[in-house]
Structure 1
Amino acid sequence: MPTIDLDYLHGFSGFAVPDIEAARAFYRDVLGLEVTDGGMGLLRLILPGGADVIIYPKPDHVPAGFTILNLAVADINQTVDVLAERGVEFLHYDVDGFEQDDRGIANGDPRIAWFTDPAGNILSVLQN
C-alpha cells in the first residue's frame, strides 16, 4: 500500500445533551469555560489550552457510564469548594479499596473528583 500523508487540520471531540441552553449555562456560568455558538444548533466549548469540544442536541440522550471530560486544575481543594458553592454535587463511588473524602475527592495520583452536568454526563476535575 502506498504511503499517503494525511493532512489533518484540526481535531475535536463532541458529546450530546438533551438541552443546549442548560448546557450553555452550566459550562459557561458554573464551570466558567468559554462557550460560543457552533452553528446548526451546536455549542462550541473552548477548553483551557485551546482544544475544542462540540456539544450537540440529542433529545433522546443517554449519558455515558464513563468520564467524558477531564479538567486539570492547580488546586483541587479550592476548585471543589468553588464548584460546590455553585451547586455542583460531587459523586461518591462505593468501590472496595477506592477512598474518597467527604467532598468526593479521591486522594490518589492524580487527586480527582467527579460530577455530572445537567444532562448526566460525567466530568472530573483533577490535580496531578
Structure 2
Amino acid sequence: MFEKLMAMAVLPAADLDRAKKWWHDVLGRDPVWSEDEGEIAFYDIGGTVVLVYRTDYAGTAQNTALNLMTDDLDRDMTALRTHGVVFHDYDLPGVTTVDGVADTGEERTAWFSDSEGNIIALGEVSPQMRELAMKLRSSSAGTG
C-alpha cells in the first residue's frame, strides 16, 4: 500500500497571477508547470513540489502553511526584506520573536506571509535536524 505515493505542499491563492508574480519576484521561482486556464501552478523548492491553486479561501488559515529550512537565516531574511517581505512578530506562549526571529538556542525561525496571506516559516535548524531532514528526504525518495 502507498508504494507509489507522493506528497506535495498546497497553498491557496485568491489571485493566481498575483501569487505567480510574488513567487517570481520574492522567491525567485517560476512555475515548473502551470495550467493554461490559470487555476493552478506547480513550483519546486528544494526538491519539494508546491501546488498553488486559485480559491476564494486563500489566506484564511492562521497557522504556518509552508516551512522552509535554510542554512543562514540572517542572509535569507535580508534578501527577503529587499523584496518587501515584512516578518511577523509574535508574543505567544512558547513563541516570542525579536525583530521577527524566534530563537530557541538550537533553532531560529521567522514567519512572513505571501501575497495571498499564507503564513510561511523560514527556519535555521540545528545541523543535526538538517541532517535528519536530508536523510528523511533521500530515504523517502528511495535513494537512502
**How far apart, in 1, do the equivalents of 2:118 and 2:3 lie?**
32
Which residue of structure 1 aligns with residue 20 of structure 2? 24
Which residue of structure 2 aligns with residue 68 of structure 1? 65
- 1:46 counterpart = 2:48: no
TM-score normalised to structure 1 length: 0.84
**How far apart, in 2, do the equivalents of 1:52 and 1:76 lie?**
22
SS of residue in 1 equivalent to 2:122 = strand
- 1:6 counterpart = 2:2: yes
CA contact (8 A) 1:63 1:119 kept: no
Q: Identity of counterpart residues, as a percentage?
A: 28
Question: Which protein is richer in helix relative to its size?
Answer: 2
CA contact (8 A) 1:34 1:47 kept: no
TM-score normalised to structure 2 length: 0.75
1:87-98 correspondence to structure 2 within 5 Å: 87-96=84-93, 98=95
Deviation of 1:17 (Å): 0.9
SS of residue in 1 equivalent to 2:43 = strand
SS of residue in 1 equivalent to 2:25 = helix
Alignment length (residue pairs): 122
CA contact (8 A) 1:92 1:100 kept: yes
**How far apart, in 1, do the equivalents of 2:94 and 2:41 lie?**
39
Residues 1:95 and 1:65: Cα distance change in structure 2 (over 3 Å): same
Of the structure 1 ranges 77-86 and 29-38, higher mean CA displacement relative to structure 2 is found in: 29-38
CA contact (8 A) 1:44 1:53 kept: yes
- 1:79 counterpart = 2:76: yes
Deviation of 1:6 (Å): 3.4
**How far apart, in 1, do the equivalents of 2:57 and 2:65 lie?**
18
Structure 2: unaligned runs, 5 residues or longer:
126-144
**How far apart, in 2, do the equivalents of 1:127 and 1:107 lie?**
10
Structure 1: unaligned runs, 5 residues or longer:
none
